[in-house]
Structure 1
Amino acid sequence: MTFSLVARSPDGRLHGVVVASKFLSVGAVVPAAEAEVGALATQANANLAYRPQGLTLLRTGVAAADAVAGLVTADPGREHRQLGVVAATGPGASWTGPACHPWAGGQAGDGWAAQGNILTGPEVVDALRDAWLGGSALPFAERMIAALRAGDEAGGDRRGRQSAALLVVQRGGGYGGGSDVLVDLRVDDHPDPVTELGRLLAVHTLLFSRPDPATLLDLTGAVADEVAALLTALGHPVADDGPEAALVSWAGVENLEERLVPGRIDPVVLTHLRGVAPHVPAPRSGS
């Protein structure tokens, strides 16, 4: 009922699962991941106990193939299960029980495993694999979405489309650094869930990605003057000592607080500020 990819970033800091299905809220069933430990997808006649059990095995340092073997060997329903696993290191592993509805199968390589059942054919898993391997220039989460999109475009679930989900974990990568959940997005019921999942990831990236230090602008001079004028136009009064306090206030309203850096401004934040503020003439330099 599902096609999925489980993967690890080349540096081992990110693990994730991306999945789509003609099934309500597939993200509530299939994915599980733990930072710097591994990730897994349980599907077909999904065994949700695989999620905590699999992560426990991976936490002890077992390889992905051994985790798969341990889970399915102990499961009397294994012939109806499908499972993909990646560990902290090494190749991924995939299991497809012989009783899964056709077409069903999976492939795995270094740091990834792709699998699916009730698919239009093996070309879906081939497309997942090829897009993942060919997408190394993309950020990790975008690379996973690109692979899912390729599988969807290759035919996907032969019953149609309904839901999709993306889960990515990184140590301290969650909101405010208070969790390891970097991305957790779900499209529970939608006519084009993979496209909608991509849209949600773009919004998530805007709001919650940490800024690139190399692009930050000093909040001084003409930049500070422009930011002050824009914030004032939006009803956020600027103090005599500069616009930083007003910027923090505005960014909290806009949910951009993860992009704030004291004394500086992220160009992404400045672009958004310019886009939402009433037209303000650019400050003149000189007298």
Structure 2
Amino acid sequence: MTFSIAARCPETGQFGIAISSSSIAVGARCPWLLPGVGAVSTQNITLPSLGPEVLAMMEQGLAPAEALDKVLTRNGYSQYRQITAIDHLGQTAHFSGAQTLGNHNAVSGEQCVAAGNMLADRSVIEAMVQAFEHGEGQLADRLLAAMKAAIAAGGEAGP
């Protein structure tokens, strides 16, 4: 089980990612940020190289959707990947391969994009986005509100 949200503060240009997972060392494998460029979160049978590759494409001027398409096309096993991206303009993109585990969903919102797998319900991700969009305070506060909303909406499937 993993759910995450990548977001941007339009006032400061700051990026952030909040992620929760039952997988070990998620912080070393899934969130990727590059100041002035964007944020990428990779999950579901993670391939850590995808994050830096997508950020490199975005740094070259590609929109998040184009960057995801280009990187996933040249890397094998994209059907097992789940990935989100947001750039310095607030443009977002997401991808969930056909073999993404369990109930899964990905949703783009205003200055944010969230995704999850092995969820109690697809609405978990929708709750994250709504909480971020309607949250107040600094970026970190809004990211934490999104995570709390995900848990309140059911979080992961199973015990």
TM range (shorter): over 0.9
Aligned to 1:217: none
Residue deviations 1:225-268 (CA, integer Å, cap 9, x gap): xxxxxxxxxxxxxxxxxxxxxxxxxxxxxxxxxxxxxxxxxxxx
Percent identity among equivalent residues?
A: 30
Structure having the higher strand fraction is 2
| Cα drift, residue 94 of structure 1 | 0.8
How has the CA–CA distance of structure 1 residues 146 and 90 changed in structure 2, closer, same or farther, with 3 Å as cutoff? closer
Paired with 2:13 and 2:105, the residues of 1 have a C-alpha distance of: 28
- The reply to whether residue 121 of structure 1 matches residue 121 of structure 2 is yes
Indicate conservation of the 8 Å contact 1:87/1:111, yes or no: no
Conservation of the 8 A alpha-carbon contact between 1:91 and 1:109: no
CA displacement at 1:12 relative to structure 2: 5.4
Corresponding residue for 1:64? 64
CA contact (8 A) 2:110 2:133 kept: no
Higher helix share: 1
Q: Which secondary structure state, in structure 2, belongs to the residue aligned with residue 99 of structure 1? A: coil
Code of the aligned partner of 1:139? Q
Residue number in structure 1 paired with 2:88: 88
Aligned AA (1:41): S
Moved over 6 A (4+): none
The letter of the residue matching 2:140 is: A
Shift of 1:159: 4.4
Equivalent pair of 1:12/1:89 in contact (CA under 8 Å) = no
The root-mean-square deviation of aligned C-alpha atoms, in Å, is 1.3
TM (normalized to structure 2)? 0.94
For the structure 1 residues 46 and 117, does the alpha-carbon distance in structure 2 shift closer, same or farther, using more than 3 Å as the test?
same
Corresponding residue for residue 141 of structure 1: 140
Aligned positions, number: 159
1:24 matched to which residue of 2?
24
Instruction: Name the residue aligned to 2:155.
Output: 156
Q: How does 1:172-183 map to 2 (within 5 A)?
A: none
TM-score, normalised with respect to structure 1:
0.53
Q: In 1, are the aligned partners of 2:90 and 2:112 still within 8 Å (CA)?
A: no
Contact 2:30 2:43 in 1 (8 A): yes
Task: Please give the secondary structure, in 2, of the residue aligned with 1:128.
Answer: helix
Q: For residue 11 of structure 1, report the CA deviation from its aligned partner.
A: 2.8
* Structure 1 unaligned residues grouped into runs of 5+: 161-287
Where 1:53 maps in the other structure, the secondary structure is helix
Q: What's 1:53 paired with?
A: 53
By how many angstroms is 1:73 displaced?
Answer: 1.4
- SS of the counterpart of 2:5? strand
Flag the 1:72–1:12 CA change in 2: closer, same or farther, 3 A: farther
Distance 1:122 1:43 in 2: 16
